[in-house]
Amino acid sequence: MKTKLFLDVILLLLFAVMCNTDVTGTLPHQVLGLVYTALLAIHLILNRKWVVAFFKGKLRGRKTRFSAILNTLLFIDFSVILVTGIWFSDDNVPTPVILTHIICSIIAAFFILIHVLLHWKVITKNKKPVKVAVCFMLVATMSYSLFGGIQGVLHYELPKDNTRIEDSKHQPKNGERK
Per-residue pLDDT tens digits for 70-93: 988 999 999 999 999 888 776 677
Q: Point out the least confidently predicted range of 41-45, 69-73, 110-114, 148-152.
A: 148-152
Task: Label residue 152 by pLDDT band (50, 70, 90).
Answer: low
The number of domains in the chain is: 1
Please check whether residue 62 lies inside any domain of the structure: yes
pTM: 0.71
Provide the phi-psi class of 175: left if phi over 0, else alpha when psi is between -120 and 50, else beta.
Answer: left
Please check whether residue 144 lies inside any domain of the structure: yes
Please check whether residue 147 lies inside any domain of the structure: yes
The domain containing residue 110 runs over which residues?
2-154
CB within 8 A of 165, min separation 6: which ones?
A: 92, 93, 95, 98, 159, 171
Please check whether residue 60 lies inside any domain of the structure: yes
Q: Point out the least confidently predicted range of 56-65, 71-80, 147-156.
A: 147-156
Cβ–Cβ < 8 Å for 43, 8:
yes
Q: Is a pLDDT exceeding 50 seen at residue 164? A: no
Task: Label residue 172 by pLDDT band (50, 70, 90).
Answer: very low
Quote the DSSP letter at residue 173.
P
